[in-house]
Structure 1
Amino acid sequence: MTIELTERGIAATIDHAILKPEFTRADVDKELDIAAEWGVFSVCVRPSDIAYAVERLAGTGVAVGTVIGFPHGTTSTAAKVAELAQAQADGAVEFDMVVNIGALRSGFDDVVTADIAAVVEAASGAVTKVILETSLLDLEQIERGSRLTEAGGATFVKTSTGFAGGGATVEHVTLMRQTVSPAVRVKASGGVRGLEAAIAMIEAGATRLGTSASATILGELRARAEGREASQAQDTTSY
């Protein structure tokens, strides 16, 4: 999948994260307005904010996603399935689930795959993304987690929650992209706070970016484009 490094192209890769536990309704409103203003692909909101976000973003073209088993992934599979069902009823259309990190680190591959597969089945064809929390894993675990994500039928494998003291790296995104087949996409999330980082993740193979810095990333890109246009105009008038 080729992504144009234009404002529209990069905006179409962004899931604008609105997940901080301390956010008030006013904070949420501000972030939803940013998502609508910049025309990002979606917002990823706390489960309790789904219905409100759906209503506030109606007509903007911005999709609403949410998180499942967030942020530690240690809830039971039954709880994750129930959480997804409620989220879907509230209007969410994409679901970012946290893998059972302890099970993955323990080598309990069947447990991990079954957990993912149950959530994927409950999503009934909706987009599902499996968060590995790469800052807590070594390279072998990231590779194995990526393979198990594909075995479980998920749409994306994703780097991080952004709440575990680490985020996406080019090395990890590259490894994930090399491990899964073209049928599975890669989402880079955590620490993607500027345009250069966003471009680096896309070049490493990510087709979706999870970030709370959408305005910064897209604003930098707009300023760069405007600078080029001004330079070209100046060159034209110099003849």
Structure 2
Amino acid sequence: MSNEEMLAKVDHTLLKPYATWADIRQICEDAIAYHTATICIPPSYIGRIREAYGDQVTICTVIGFPLGYQVTEVKVAEAKKALEDGASEIDMVINIGDAKGGRFDAVTEEIRALKKAVGDHVLKVIIETCYLTEEEKIELCHCVTEAGADFIKTSTGFGSAGANLEDVKLLRANVGPQVKVKAAGGIRSIADMEDFINAGADRLGTSSAIQLIKGENSSGY
């Protein structure tokens, strides 16, 4: 797979709490130059990015991040505001406590409420695999599929571990055919990127992809 093909699957990500506008601008400039799928940034920067860059970048942002325990009404309001400000893709965190408590119907209903709010825009559902058993991961695949979300996503990058190949394969095998898989957290090499894509990831969430590509070939791709 070419570097261009890999970067077209990357959500170029900066979600650190101390990210400055200068940092965000660099993310945007890199995404434009290297043609990533999106930039994934904090919701507080959406409006400034849209004003500065217009349609040059596709904006992804996070909702209920990073712990997921906000009430559904707050997540819905966050999502609506993000779209109003100019986001095109929403990555929401489930209520992990509900999943651990076996309240999968509640998880499904919350995802469904977010998808209703998002409409034709892309909704990715972060399940934070590092906290889950295999059985819980499979149940959440069913929740995401039933609720009509567009992606299931492994991780926030703020948990105790990020994506691994076994989880990507498990999610790919258990979501419906219309649901895609996003791997995020711990992607640190071009080989990692290729491995996750080959395992079934349709999108990668990483802050390091462009840096890795630059290191491989300073002239660009």
TM-score of the alignment, normalized to the shorter chain, above 0.5? yes
Task: Give the Å deviation of 1:217.
Answer: 3.5
Secondary structure in 1 matching 2:77: helix
Distance 1:130 1:220 in 2: 31
| Residue from 54, 65, 81 that aligns with 2:60 | 65
Structure whose CA Rg is larger: 1
Equivalent residues of 2:137, 2:171 under 8 A apart: yes
2:21 paired with 1:21: no
Task: Give the Å deviation of 1:8.
Answer: 1.8
1:50-103 CA distance string (max 9 Å, x none) = 11122333353x300101110011000100110011001000000000011000
Q: Give the structure 2 partner of residue 160 of structure 1.
A: 155
Under a length normalisation based on structure 1, what TM-score does the superposition of the two structures give? 0.88
Which amino acid letter does the alignment assign opposite residue 20 of structure 1? Answer: K
| Residue from 46, 52, 74 that aligns with 1:79 | 74
| Residue from 100, 116, 125 that aligns with 1:121 | 116
2:32 paired with 1:33: no
CA RMSD of aligned residues (A): 1.6
| Residue from 154, 178, 187 that aligns with 2:182 | 187
Equivalent residues of 1:38, 1:218 under 8 A apart: no
Distance 1:204 1:221 in 2: 23
Q: Give the structure 2 partner of residue 9 of structure 1.
A: 5
Equivalent residues of 2:190, 2:209 under 8 A apart: no
Which amino acid letter does the alignment assign opposite residue 9 of structure 1? Answer: E
Task: Give the Å deviation of 1:133.
Answer: 0.4
Q: Give the structure 2 partner of residue 212 of structure 1.
A: 207
Distance 1:127 1:205 in 2: 18
2:47 paired with 1:51: yes
Equivalent residues of 1:185, 1:207 under 8 A apart: yes
Equivalent residues of 1:193, 1:212 under 8 A apart: no
Length, aligned pairs only: 220
Structure 1 residues not aligned, in runs of 5+: 227-239
Identity %: 40
Runs of 4+ aligned structure 1 residues displaced above 6 Å come to none
